[in-house]
Every structure is written in C-alpha cells, then in structure tokens.
Structure 1
Amino acid sequence: MSSDPWGRVDETGTVYVRTADGEKVVGSWQAGSPEEALAYFERKYEGLVVEIGLLEKRVKTTDLSSKDALTAIEHLREQVDAHHAVGDLDALGKRLDKLVELVEARREERKAQRARQSDEARRAKEALVVEAEELAQSDQWRAAGERLRALVDTWKGLPRLDRKSDDELWHRFSHARSAFSKRRKQHFAQLDAQREEARRTKERLVAEAESLSDSTDWGPTAARYRELMTEWKAAGRAQREHEEDLWNRFRGAQDVFFAARSSVFAERDAEQAENLKLKEELAGEAEKLLPITDLKAARAAFRAINERWEAIGHVPRDARPRVEGRMHAVERALQEAEEAEWRRTNPEARARAAGLTGQLQAAVDRLKGQIEQARAQGNTAKAEKLERELEGRQALLDQALKGLQEFGG
C-alpha cells in the first residue's frame, strides 16, 4: 500500500483521496505500482489547479460574460466533486466558491453600470428632443438646419433605451425635425411666390413704361413715370435672373422719353445744370454710405437720398450717365448686400451651386485626361480641339466657383 498527505492506494489497487468529509474513492489502478497510481491522479489534480487558475485570470482581466463564467465554473466543480484526482480538493472547491462570488459581484456591477448608462442616455436623448423642439420654431433656416443634422449624428452615437422609451423620444425628435422642414419649405415657397408676383407686376410696369416712351405729353407722362417708379419699388424684387433685365427695360423706356423731352426743352439747360450740381452732391452723400456695414440703415438712408434725387428733376443728357452711374454704383452695392443676405439664408441655392461646380470640375478633369491621352497617341488635332473645349468649360467652372464663393462656400 502507498500513500501521501492527500491520498493512498490500498492492496487491491483502489485509489482514495482525503477530503473534509472523509476518504473518497478516486478510481482503480491495476497497470503499475501504487506510486505511479498516485502520481497519475496527482497530475490530474494539477490539471484542475491550472484550469481554475486560468479561469480566475479570465474573470479578473477580461470581459467574460457572467453566463459563460458560471458555466465554466460549474464544469470545473463537477470535475472536483467527481473526486477523480488526488490533492486538496476542498481548497479547489473554496476557490470555485470565491470565483462564483466574484462573478456575481461583477454581474451586479455591470447591471448597475448598464442602469447608469441607460439613465445617462435617457437624459441625453431628452435634452436632444427639447433642443430639437425649440429649433423647430426657429426662423434661422440655415443655422437651425445644420444644428438639427448635428443632433441626428449625436443621437445615432447614443445607446438605445428600452424600446418603448426610445420609440417615444424618437417620435418627438423626428416630429420636431419634420415640423422644421415643413416650415422651411413653406417659407421658401412663399418667398418664391412673392418673387413671381413681383415679376408679373414689373412686367406690367415695363409694358406701360415702354408704351409711354414716345409720348410728347411731357408733364402728365413724366408724372406717370414717377408713379410707375413708386410702384416698381413697392413691388419688391423679382427672381434674380429676371430683375436686371426688367430694370434695364424699365429704365431704358424712361430714358427714351426723358431724352426726347430734354431735346425739346433745350432752354432748360440752365435749370438742368443746377440739377446736375444738386445730384452730384446727393451722389457724394450716397457714396458716403459705402462700404455698407448696416444694411437696414444704409437702405433707409439711400431711399431718403433717392427721394430727394427724384424730386430734383433731370440733368444735362451728356452728364446723366456719369452722375447716375455714381448712384447706380451705390444702389448695386445695396442690391448685392441684399443678395448676400438672402443667399446666407438659402442653403438650397448653395447646394445647387455646389452641385454645378462639382459637375463642371469633373468635366474639366475628364477633358484634361483626354487631352493627355490624345497627345500621348500623337493625335495633335484631337488634342487641340479638346483644349478649345477645355477653355470653355474652365471659364464656366471659374464663373461657377466665383458664384459659390459668394455663398460663403
């Protein structure tokens, strides 16, 4: 018979292990000496020690799930309880008990952490919803639209809540975005309608102005032109692509009439010379409004100057382009400032300009590649033809880039 502190082998070859509950049969050994039997079952014990040690390390240093950890512990406990090894099995059982306690503690800690994260995510999403609902009432179309897009990105980065809470908050968030988009569309649709109405009104004013251009009924016709100018200003601005052409026709019709009147009333040259002096003073006063820093104040001041200008009467024909050109320069600066202000609130127009620029840039790049290929193939005629086409596309691209810069892009 052979034995050690934790086990023994009797004369029949039966192997026992000593536990707190007494000796337990480990197994039977007939293949060799008792020492070899004990050594074999001691190695099995060492194997259990190693496996428990590895599991302890995994639990402490990795994100092993509680479920997987408990399954592994149960598997090892079954091996320990089976008593198929010689060693301090009670100590291994106690290590497994402590490991179960650690896993349970970790599970509770993770549960609490998830609860904290869920609470933080809920507060964050509620804050996003509140901000989105405030932005839904904003008239700062560009800034509010960009901020809402940023809120969507923030929302996507937050953890999901329980389905009911998450769906309710998302419904409010989505509803706020939809309300803002609807209001923005209505705003720009109304603006487009106003500009279309202004175009129709100005078309009518232009038609009447052109019909009066050959009138010799000087007084009433001049008075009617002044009324038409008042109506023109009250009509508002038409679409950008129509405004300048309509204005040129309107002013051109008046110019024809007043030029004819000036030629008939040559004796009024002296009066017109005085008018020129007064208008030059007003032009100088108007030029002091530049550069424009306060659009509203500058517009009001120019309107007052222009009313005095209109009240003065005509100047000598040869001086008119020069002095009116000075006023027109100030007026154009005001119009450009108004256009810049409008563009800053029109993200759709900027998107269209950016899209056109991208298309033209792609066309230029494609032509450059075709030119290089033609030259590489020795096809000079084709390369020159493509270069002429490239010049045209490049000019359009330069113009589109300039337009895009006006959007602040």
Structure 2
Amino acid sequence: MSSDPWGRVDDTGTVYVRTAEGEQVVGSWQAGSPEEALAYFERKYEGLVVEIDLLERRVRTTDLSAKDAMAAIDHLRTQVDEHHAVGDLDALRARLDSLVATVESRREERKAQRAKQADEARRAKEALVTEAEELARSDQWRAAGERLRALVDTWKGLPRLDRKSDDELWHRFSHARSAFSKRRKAHFAALDAQREEARKTKEKLVAEAEALSGSTDWGATAARYRELMADWKAAGRAQREAEDDLWNRFRGAQDVFFAARGEVFAERDAEQAENLKLKEELAVEAERLLPVTDLKAARAAFRSLNERWEAIGHVPRDARPKVEGRMHAVERALQESEENEWRRTNPEARARAEGLTGQLQAAVDELRGQIDAARAAGNNARADKLAKELEGRQALLDQALKGLQEFGG
C-alpha cells in the first residue's frame, strides 16, 4: 500500500482521495506501482488547478459573460465532485465558490453599468429632441438645417433604449425635423412666387419698351425709358432663364430707340465722344470690382456705376459695343457670382443630394452588417457575394458625397 497527504492506494489497487467528508474512491489502478497510480491522479489534480487558474484569470481580465463563466465553473465543479484526482479537492471547491461570488459581483456591476448607460443615453436623446423642437421654429434656414443634420448623426451614435421609449423620442425628433422642412419649403416656395411675379412685371415692361422703340419723341421717350429702368430694378429678379431673355429684349428695345435718336442727333458727336470718355472711365471702375470677393458690396457699387452710366447718355455708335461690352462683362460676372451663391445655398437641391446620400449610406451600412453576420455564421460565400454588391453601392455613395461637397458642406 502507498499513500501521500491527500490520497492512498490499497493492496487491491483501489485509489482513494482524502476530503473533509472522508475518503472517496478515485479509481482502480492495475497497470503499475502504487506510486505511479498516485502520480497519475496527482497530475489530473494539477490539471484541474491549471484550468481553475485560467478561468480565474479570464474572469478578472476579460469580458467573459456571466453565463459562459458559470458554465465553465459548473463543468469544473463536476470534475472535482467526481473525485478523479488526488489533491486538496476541498480547496478547489472553495476556489470555485469564490469564483461564483466574483462572477455574481461582476454580473451586478455590468447590470448597473448598463442601467447607467441607458439613463445617459435617454438624457442625451431627450436633449437632442428638445433642441430639434426649438430648431423647428427657427428662420435661420441654413444654420438650423445644418444643425439638425448634425443632431441626426449624434442620434445615430447613441445606444438604443427600450423599444417604446426609443420610438417615442424618435417620433418627436422626426416630427421636429419634418416641421422645419415644411416651413423651409414654404419659405422658398414664397421666394419662387416672388420671382414669378417679377417675371410678369418685367414682361409688361418689355412690352412697353418694345412699343416705344420706334418713337421719335426723343425727350419724352428717353425719360420714359429711364422710368422703365427704375421699375425694372424695383421689380426684383425673375427666374434665371427668364431674366436673361427679358433683359436682352428690354435692352434691345432701348438700343433700337437710342440708336435711332443717335442718328438724328449726329451733330452731337462731340458730346457723344465726351460721353465715351466718361463711360470708359466707368468701365475701368467697374472692372476693378472683379474678381468678386464681396458680392453684396460689388452689387451696390455696380448699381451706383450703372446709374451714373445711364445718366451719361449715348456714345458714338461704332464705340458703343466695345465700351458697353466691358460693362456687360462685369454685369455677367456679378450675375454669375449671384447664381453661384444661389446654387450653393439652394436648400431644395441640397436636400435632394443629402436624401440620396443618406439612402446610399444606409444601404452601405446595412450591407456591411449583413457581411459581418454572414462571416460570423461561417457563410463566406454569401459574405463574398454581398461584398461585391457593397463595392457598387460604395462607389455610388462616393459619387453622391462628391456632389454634396459642391454645396459647401
């Protein structure tokens, strides 16, 4: 018979382990000496010690879930309770009991942490909703629109709440955004209506200008053309395409009249030569406004120059195209700057670009999630197929984002 502090082997080859509850049969050993039997079962005990050491380390240093940890503890406890090892099994049971307490403590800590995170997420989303509802009443269309888009990005980065709370807050958030969009749309629809009214007014001015173009009542007609020009400026801008066409007709009618008057007043060539000199000086001043750096100031300065220009009178016919062409070039540059500013700040076009970008981004995000899920499930064939589809969607998204940059954000 052979023994050590934790076990022994009797004459029949039966191996025992000593526990607080008394000796327990470990197993039977017939293949070698008693010392070899004890050594074998002691090694099994050492294996259990190693497994418990590793489990304790995982519980302390990793994010091992409570469920998985308890399953591992139960598995080791079963091995210890089956008494197939020689060593201080009671000490191993105590370590497993302690580990259960640690896991339970970690479980409670994580539960409290999740509750804290959920509370923080709720407060954050409530704050977003409150701000969105305030922005919904704003008339700062561009700034408020950009801020609402930023709030959406912030919302997407926050954890989800319970379904009922999350849905209620999202409904308020979405309703605020919709209310703002409707108000903004109505505002710019009113601007469009104003442009349409300007178009109708200018069509009437053009009709009268064209009717007057054949008049030989030089003084009265010239005075009326000046009044028509003042009315033109007061009418505001029409839609770009209509504005250009109406302006060409309006100025063309005046040109016809003043050309005829110029022929009648050929004897005033000396005066017209002086007019040419003055207009060339104004053209130089106008050209100094380019390139446009301050559109508002440039428009005001050009209006002043144009009023002085109109007050000067006519120049010799052969010099008129060149000098007027210089002013027209400056005017076109100002109009182009104004149109560029309108296109850059056009909320409807930007909204359409953002809507397309948002749809493509959502599709890309959804495909990425499907790819991750497929790979996690071991379905690499589906993941590869989805990855090819993702390449196409990502290319479209990149193009959409590039287009969106043209709006300045």
* TM-score, length-scaled by structure 2: 0.73
The DSSP-based 3-state class of the residue aligned with 1:238 is: coil
Closer/same/farther in 2, CA of residues 306 and 87 from structure 1, 3 Å limit: same
Task: Describe the SS at the equivalent of 2:55.
Answer: helix
1:159-208 deviations in Å (ceiling 9; x for gaps): 22333443343233323332332233223323333223322322232222
CA displacement, residues 243-282 of structure 1 (integer Å, 9 cap, x when unaligned): 2222111111111112112222334445444544544454
Distance 2:207 2:404 in 1: 34
CA-to-aligned-CA distance 1:357-392 (integer Å, 9 cap, x gap): xxxxxxxxxxxxxxxxxxxxxxxxxxxxxxxxxxxx
Q: Tell me which residue corresponds to 1:372.
A: none
Report SS of the residue matched to 1:318.
Answer: coil
Cα shift at 1:25: 3.1
Q: Which residue of 2 aligns with 1:339?
A: 339
| Separation of aligned partners in 1, 2:226 and 2:286 | 20
**Separation of aligned partners in 1, 2:291 and 2:117:** 55
Alignment of 1:176-325 (within 5 A): 176-325=176-325
Aligned partners of 1:66 and 1:104 also within 8 Å:
yes
| Alpha carbons of structure 1 residues 291 and 138: separation in structure 2 relative to 1, 3 Å | farther
Task: Name the CA distance, whole Å, in 2 between partners of 1:297 and 1:126.
Answer: 44
Q: 1:286 to 1:84 in 2, by over 3 A?
A: closer
How big is the alpha-carbon RMSD for the aligned residues of Structure 1 and Structure 2?
3.7
Q: How many residues of Structure 1 are paired with residues of Structure 2 in the alignment?
A: 360
Which residue number in structure 1 is paired with residue 56 of structure 2?
56
Q: Percent identity?
A: 85
User: Is 1:67 aligned to residue 58 of structure 2?
Assistant: no
Note the C-alpha offset of 1:99: 1.4
Change in 2 beyond 3 A, CA 1:202/1:51: same
After TM superposition, the structure 1 = structure 2 runs for residues 9-408 of structure 1, keeping only pairs within 5 Å, are 9=9, 15-21=15-21, 23-26=22-25, 29=28, 35=34, 38=38, 41-133=41-133, 135-137=135-137, 141=141, 144-346=144-346, 348-349=348-349
- Which secondary structure does the structure 1 equivalent of 2:315 belong to? coil
Any conservation in 2 of the 1:42–1:87 contact (CA below 8 Å)?
Answer: yes
> Higher mean Cα deviation, 121-130 or 156-165?
121-130
Cα gap change, 1:266/1:83 in structure 2, threshold over 3 Å: closer, same or farther?
same
Q: CA 1:405–1:3 in structure 2 vs 1: closer, same or farther (change >3 Å)?
A: closer
Unaligned runs of at least 5 residues, structure 2 = 354-402
Instruction: Give how far 1:216 is off.
Output: 2.5
Q: Which residue of 2 aligns with 1:376?
A: none
Aligned to 2:238, the other structure's residue is in SS state: coil
Q: Which moved more, 1:253-262 or 1:121-130?
A: 121-130
Distance in 2 separating the partners of 1:67 and 1:149: 41
Q: Which runs of 5+ in 1 are unaligned?
A: 354-402
- State the Cα deviation string for residues 302-337 of structure 1 (Å, max 9, x = none): 333333433343333333333333433333333233
Per-residue deviation at 1:65?
Answer: 0.7
1:339 corresponds to which letter in structure 2? Answer: E
Question: How far does the alpha carbon of each residue in 1:277-298 deviate from its partner, in whole angstroms, 9 at most, with x for none?
Answer: 5444544454454444433333
CA distance in 2, matches of 1:187, 1:282: 38
Residue pair 2:345, 2:407 contacting (<8 A) in 1 also: no
Structure 1 pair 213–352 and aligned structure 2 pair: CA distance change class (3 A): farther
Q: Kindly state the Cα deviation for residue 91 of structure 1 after the two structures are TM-superposed.
A: 0.9
> What is the SS of the residue equivalent to 2:63?
coil
Secondary structure of 2:318 counterpart:
helix
